[in-house]
Amino acid sequence: MKKLVIFTFISTLCSVHTFAQADSIQTYVTKALKIMKNKSVNKSKLNWEDIFNKTLAETSKAKTIKETYPSIKNALNSLNDSHSNFYSEKMVRAYTLGYKATGQEFPVIKSELLENQYAYINLPDIGSFNKGDWNMYINTFYEKVNDLQKRNPKGWIIDLRGNFGGMLYPMYAAIAPFLDSKNVVGTKDAEGAIEYYNYKNGKFYEGTTATQLFQLTQKEPKAVKKHIAILVNKVTGSSAEFITAAFVGQKNIKIIGTKTQGLTSGNQEYKLSDGSFLVLTIGNIVDRTGKEYAKIGEGISPDITIEKSSDEGKTDEAYLRKAFEFIDGKKKD
């Protein structure tokens, strides 16, 4: 992933070398387009001949692979999923190095016991391909949950507001103790096949295959049986919407807030020859009932709606009041 492929051009090169270079660029673009054609969730709805012809024409005079990036991004935009993206090798390298190596602040996981009885914890976005970051994120979350469990809270509040997404794997592992069953969220691909995600004993599963293994230094929290309020807003998106959907239909929870962002689809990374990534939408979210969230921008509806005030403090107060009422059993709907 960290390998950098450098193309140099020397005017004295013979024509056969120049032709070979151009051919490798077109091969690069063609491979990217074939991945899109084979894997896109919308592949059956698109005119692939037009997409290929337009993209190859745009890149026909490119002298470096880097010059093809804008056209590849345009091709991704034509997939009409609003979620596929392209990350250059440089960007991938930064994501792989992680927060500390790139001088970024690590996601802050806040927790506290509100009014001496309501356990509050937020689940922030995490935008890193670094496994060490994932382990730190999960272990920090578990540590805080374990501490709150020792204080015997009346109920729980998980705050997904402001979480615009990132890497699903560590987020899902973090909230696993709050889920009441298996197969609560997954994706539905272009052929209609559903693959559910699960987590057990430090392993993340896609279908029946363990695709990620985490290094746990903290004890996994006990399963949470008490009432759980899930707080969401319009920023809550992408992987955070997977987390939201995982709770849809769970008996001891209420989702409180506004409709989520509406990036309710699953992405997969595909590495290209220069180390860049196609991050391609390959399926739409499905919840435990099999409901598919396929409409872009529609989002996930809350059980209890919060009207936004111009005063952020009042909005936050309204969220917590509704959460407390649900946990206390005062408000059933």
Alpha carbons 142 and 116: distance in angstroms, whole number: 20
Name the amino acid, one letter, at 326.
Answer: F
What does the pLDDT average to over 135-145? 98
Query: What's the confidence (pLDDT) of residue 308?
Result: 85
What does the pLDDT average to over 262-279? 93
Contact 155, 115 (CB under 8 A): no
Mean per-residue pLDDT over the chain, rounded: 91
pLDDT digits (tens, 9 = 90+) for 194-219: 999 999 999 999 999 999 999 999 99
Angle between helix axes 168-175 and 131-149 (nearest 10 degrees) is 20
Contacts 24+ apart (CB under 8 A), 194-202: 194/286, 194/290, 195/283, 196/286, 197/168, 197/172, 197/242, 199/172, 199/173, 200/176, 202/173
Alpha carbons 87 and 128: distance in angstroms, whole number: 13
Query: What's the confidence (pLDDT) of residue 113?
Result: 98
What does the pLDDT average to over 97-121? 96
Q: Is the pLDDT of residue 168 over 50?
A: yes
pLDDT digits (tens, 9 = 90+) for 214-249: 999 999 999 999 999 999 999 999 999 999 999 999
The pTM score is: 0.88
Alpha carbons 183 and 169: distance in angstroms, whole number: 15
- Residue 331 binned pLDDT confidence (cut-offs 50, 70, 90): low
Name the nearest CA neighbour of 144 among 167, 115, 124, 165: 124
Q: Is the pLDDT of residue 102 over 70?
A: yes
Helices marked H in the chain — which ranges?
A: 15-39, 48-58, 69-77, 89-97, 131-149, 168-175, 239-247, 312-328
What does the pLDDT average to over 38-52? 96
3-state secondary structure 261-290: CCCCEEEEEEECCCCCEEEEEEEEEEECCC
Name the nearest CA neighbour of 212 among 275, 259, 278, 269: 269
Query: What's the confidence (pLDDT) of residue 139?
Result: 98
Q: Is the pLDDT of residue 20 over 50?
A: no
Contact 195, 206 (CB under 8 A): yes
